[in-house]
């Protein structure tokens, strides 16, 4: 089924729901005019439809391979990546000083959404380079910026992030990779990293690894971690590639999905590296890249959801099976349960996409120096975007298989690929449980002020809707009040494990209420019989009520989680 880039959907959300105009009104992003936004979205959408989408199935059937130490990517992936380079797409939000367009990250978010929907395996590659560009811009010494950023922004070189080790997954502080000074300002980096997405490829150019490692005098835990640039090839001062560095791909992981994306085990044997940022402050530098990636990974889930939805909808509109109780085309789309699944997919896709784009707007306003409240807003929305976006991706892809019925379990239909590919997004860049713990932990250190500010905005929307959409406005206001009460309860808990026990349902309830907020904002832009009003009513009547049970779980405490002993769990 051909992929259709949702350009008009992005334009509606940017214009009427998340208010991109306020970003364009800043001096920093004044070039993001409506005409520019339209051109960017249209041209990017065309590329993803024509170039990326035809590669998606091929990447699944013909995975990347490691042959004689060289990673061979899926057929056509090199051409797909070259289309990114030729269009200058990697520099969309990158600094103009080093060759980028310096446009809002909100546009990059829409770009990543379409990349993930059309070919998630290949779309992961530019996502990593985007994050590395931001990390280097914020933390690298000037000479490194001047050498690496133009190459990364042009796409001539690609970037990776190397955190995980076999004994140090989510507990990054347990890493053992070491970096020893060479005496000339460089370091010898030694250790093994796993799960390195796009750790190598055959696209040409350089692969630039950002590697977390520990200096000889480092303290234990995350306080003793430093960050290093360790390139595949050691460049000279003009960026010409020299000798190969002392690193190699040991193997490629055999994965459930994302077969077209080479996920590498990387070995560093005294590889030459350069310090990024300050000694022992590597986590602060890496978190710049990780926060960028957390928004990006949430968007990967949303994009995959869009691909799965479009695939399932096309099948439902065409497949005839059984007598339907209503007059229509005779296709399975006329069955009530199929309609329920499709509407759930569409409604959650819209809700999660709005959350992600609102997150990106907050990031842009923060970059534009619009005030500390935008920094707080971005911080609160980031874990919600990542966790809810990927949960929606998994759920929509699963429903996509169900819409196909028995054929969904047959690989040739392509429905299963979306489910397999998107599954990892809930795991990497911090599992969704870790995102939820961050929300009820670090993001409540201000006493919940950032959360309450969002709730105030949601209730303002609910009040504004009471004139024309009273029932939906009342339902959203009540949901926001319930969320406020639970938030106050969370803030009051001094036992962090009590908070953590209810963190995931709390985050999901928050996302549900935010989704109602954005659906209602969209509905207020249309006439009484408009499709967005109908979709908003479906969401608020059928999906928003989930928050009640989720909030009850959030306040259930931790005692019942530990009531069964480990021995009783095995009984």
Q: Do residues 538 and 371 make contact, with C-beta atoms less than 8 angstroms apart?
A: no
Give 258's DSSP letter. Answer: -
Residue by residue, what is the 3-state secondary structure of 271-327? EEEEEECCCCCHHHHHHHHHHHHHHHHHHHHHHHHHHHHHHHHHHHHHCECCCCCCC
31 in catalytic set: no
E strand or H helix at 476: helix 470-492
Selected catalytic residue, list 134, 165, 391, 429: 429
What is the rounded distance in angstroms from the CA atom of residue 491 to the CA atom of residue 212?
A: 33
Closest alpha carbon to 321 in 413, 399, 405:
405
- Residues 6, 111: contact at Cβ < 8 Å? no
Helix axes 503-523, 7-16, angle to 10 degrees: 90
The tokens for 12 are 């509606």
Do 394 and 301 form a contact (C-beta atoms < 8 A)?
Answer: yes
Token code pair at residue 444:
């409540």
Q: Which of 277, 294, 308 is nearest to 356 (CA)?
A: 294
Residues in CB range of 336: below 8 A, 6 or more apart: 325
Which stretches within 1-75 are classed as H helix?
A: 7-16, 21-24, 34-47, 56-61
Beta strand 187-197 with 178-181 is: antiparallel
Token pair of 350, please? Answer: 């819209």
Q: For the chain, what is the radius of gyration of the CA atoms?
A: 24
* Angle, in degrees to the nearest 10, between helices 503-523 and 372-403: 90
Provide the 3-class DSSP secondary structure of residue 125: helix
Angle of CA points 191, 196, 197, to nearest 5°: 165
The total number of residues written for the chain in this structure: 571
Q: Which of 520, 526, 559, 521 is nearest to 540 (CA)?
A: 520
Q: DSSP 3-state helix, strand, coil percentages of the chain (rounded to 5)?
A: 60, 15, 25
Selection from 302, 332, 318 nearest residue 418 by Cα: 302
- State the helix-helix crossing angle for 372-403 and 415-422, rounded to 10 degrees: 140
Q: What is the DSSP string of 329-370?
A: SSBGGGSHHHHHHHHHHHHHHHHHHHHHHHHHHHHHHHHTT-
Contact yes or no for 454/377 (Cβ under 8 A):
yes
Q: DSSP string of 459-474? A: HHHHHHHTTT-HHHHH
Q: Which residue has the tokens 């001047």?
A: 146
Sign for the CA dihedral angle at 488, 543, 293, 429 comes to: positive
Enumerate the active-site residues: 429
């Amino acid at each position: 089924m051909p992929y259709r880039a949702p350009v008009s959907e992005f334009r509606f959300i940017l214009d009427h729901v998340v208010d991109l105009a306020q970003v364009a009104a800043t001096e920093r992003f004044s070039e993001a005019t409506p005409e520019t936004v339209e051109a960017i979205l249209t041209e990017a959408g065309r590329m993803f439809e024509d170039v990326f989408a035809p590669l998606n199935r091929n990447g699944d059937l013909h995975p990347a391979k490691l042959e004689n130490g060289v990673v061979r990517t899926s057929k056509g992936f090199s051409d797909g990546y070259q289309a990114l380079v030729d269009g200058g797409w990697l520099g969309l939000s990158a600094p103009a000083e080093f060759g980028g367009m310096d446009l809002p990250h909100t546009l990059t978010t829409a770009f990543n959404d379409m990349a993930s929907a059309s070919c998630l395996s290949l779309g992961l590659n530019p996502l990593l380079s985007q994050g590395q560009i931001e990390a280097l811009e914020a933390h690298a010494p000037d000479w490194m910026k001047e050498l690496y950023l133009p190459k990364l922004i042009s796409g001539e070189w690609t970037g990776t992030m190397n955190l995980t080790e076999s004994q140090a997954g989510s507990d990054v502080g347990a890493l053992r990779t070491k970096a020893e000074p060479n005496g000339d300002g460089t370091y010898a980096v030694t250790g093994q990293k796993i799960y390195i997405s796009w750790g190598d490829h055959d696209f040409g150019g350089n692969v630039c690894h950002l590697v977390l490692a520990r200096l000889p005098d480092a303290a234990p835990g995350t306080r003793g971690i430093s960050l290093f640039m360790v390139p595949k090839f050691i460049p000279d001062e003009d960026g010409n590639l020299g000798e190969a560095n002392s690193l190699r791909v040991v193997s490629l992981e055999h994965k459930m999905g994302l077969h077209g994306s080479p996920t590498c085990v990387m070995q560093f044997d005294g590889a030459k590296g350069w310090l990024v940022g300050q000694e022992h402050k590597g986590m602060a530098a890496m978190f710049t890249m990780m926060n960028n990636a957390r928004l990006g990974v949430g968007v990967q889930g949303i994009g995959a959801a869009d691909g799965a939805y479009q695939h399932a909808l096309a099948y439902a509109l065409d497949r005839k099976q059984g007598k339907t109780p209503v007059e229509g085309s005779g296709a399975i789309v006329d069955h009530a349960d199929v309609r329920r699944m499709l509407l759930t997919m569409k409604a959650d896709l819209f809700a999660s996409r709005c959350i992600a784009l609102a997150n990106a707007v907050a990031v842009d306003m923060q970059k534009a120096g619009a005030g500390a409240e935008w920094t707080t807003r971005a911080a609160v929305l980031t874990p919600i975007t990542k966790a809810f976006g990927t949960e929606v991706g998994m759920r929509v892809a699963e429903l996509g298989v169900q819409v196909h019925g028995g054929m969904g379990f047959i690989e040739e239909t392509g429905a299963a690929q979306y489910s397999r590919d998107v599954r990892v997004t809930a795991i990497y860049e911090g599992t969704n449980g870790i995102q939820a713990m961050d929300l009820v932990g670090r993001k409540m250190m201000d006493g919940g002020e950032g959360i309450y500010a969002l709730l105030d905005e949601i209730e303002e929307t609910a009040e504004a809707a009471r004139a024309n959409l009273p029932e939906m406005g009342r339902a959203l206001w009540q949901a926001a009040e319930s969320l406020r009460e639970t938030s106050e309860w969370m803030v009051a808990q001094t036992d962090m494990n009590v908070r953590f026990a209810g963190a995931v349902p709390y985050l999901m309830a928050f996302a549900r209420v935010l989704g109602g907020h954005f659906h209602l904002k969209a509905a207020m832009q249309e006439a009484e019989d408009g499709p967005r009003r109908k979709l908003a009513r479906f969401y608020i009547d059928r999906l928003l009520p989930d928050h009640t049970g989720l909030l009850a779980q959030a306040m259930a405490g931790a005692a019942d989680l530990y009531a069964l002993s480990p021995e009783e769990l095995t009984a």
